[in-house]
Amino acid sequence: MEVIKKINNNVAVCIDDNGRELIAFGRGIGFGEMPYELDDLNLIDRTYYGVDSQYFGLLNELPENIFDVTMRIVEYARSKITCELSPNILFTLADHINFAIERYKKNIMIKSPLFYDIENLYETEIDVARQAVKLIQSELKVHLPEGEVTSIALNLINAEEQCCIPGGDYDSDEVIDDVTKIIEKKTGRVIDRRSFNFSRFATHLQYLLKRKETNRPVSSENMRMFETMKDGFPQTYDCVLDILDYFREKIQWNPNDEELLYLMLHINRLCTREDCNQ
């Protein structure tokens, strides 16, 4: 196996004997001058094929223990879920778990408005997500709230490459693009649609749109947080109001305040990482 590009000391881009590119994890394989031939394959702990290069940067941004736990979660998920999972799931899920832990440390606890829909439709993914939350608690000493079960399950569902929920009578990609343009207009910045941060934001929007198709009411339990966000982030709230008007006109949907709260949180996250507010 040829090691061709260092990502960090313990992760590298490699080429196998069949000429296929992969990401390899193994202690010390990132040392040395590139490229070089790795003869001792016992040094490699795990390999991942087909990973999008936009996610490579996360390997230097996220703590190693987050990746270690996420690897175990993904391996467990693949043993339980019949659909093929995207090779990017390790990175998207690790980023989500890291973000969830950051929220936990800041005492931001929010119950997912999608919980009952997902619990009824995706029992296997919910069961895997519950085990993931238990593993995070035992290995990382972080007791994530119950709502994270739904969020982790959504990450798994999004990574399922052959098991899709049918969409509505509109083009969801067009809706996501239109919403992004609204955010750009309000913030005066251009959002990189090829970035990982935008990908995560688009994923959130996809599942809000899919939830619309279930046409099920959701009880709001986060109104205090919603009022706090409205007061603390007036620009984001103003942006969400424009998006709300767009939803009503374009797809005849009137999201409730809890769903708007989630939208505000993800817009804030996108704008913080994409430097929209500066």
* pLDDT single digits (tens) 26-45: 989 998 889 999 988 899 99
**pTM as predicted:** 0.59
User: What is the overall mean pLDDT for the chain?
Assistant: 85
**What is 2-50's CATH topology?**
Transcription Regulation, Sacy; Chain A (2.30.24)
Domain with CATH 2.30.24.10 in the chain: 2-50
* pLDDT single digits (tens) 189-230: 889 888 877 877 887 787 677 767 655 545 555 677 888 888
Question: What's the rounded mean pLDDT across residues 95-106?
Answer: 90
Calpha distance 40→22 (Å, rounded): 16
Domain with CATH 1.10.1790.10 in the chain: 61-159, 172-274
Question: What's the rounded mean pLDDT across residues 96-104?
Answer: 91
Band the pLDDT of 104: cuts 50, 70, 90.
Answer: confident
Across 154-163, 183-192, 238-247, least confident range: 154-163
Question: What's the rounded mean pLDDT across residues 171-180?
Answer: 90
CATH architecture of 61-159: Orthogonal Bundle (1.10)
CATH number of 172-274: 1.10.1790.10
Band the pLDDT of 238: cuts 50, 70, 90.
Answer: very high
Taking CA atoms, 81 is separated from 71, 94, 110, 123, 157, in Å, by 15, 18, 27, 10, 10
More confident residue, 230 or 163: 230
% of residues, the chain, pLDDT over 90: 42
Q: What is the pLDDT of residue 248?
A: 93
Which residues contact residue 154 at a Cβ distance below 8 angstroms, ignoring those fewer than 6 apart?
114, 118, 203, 207
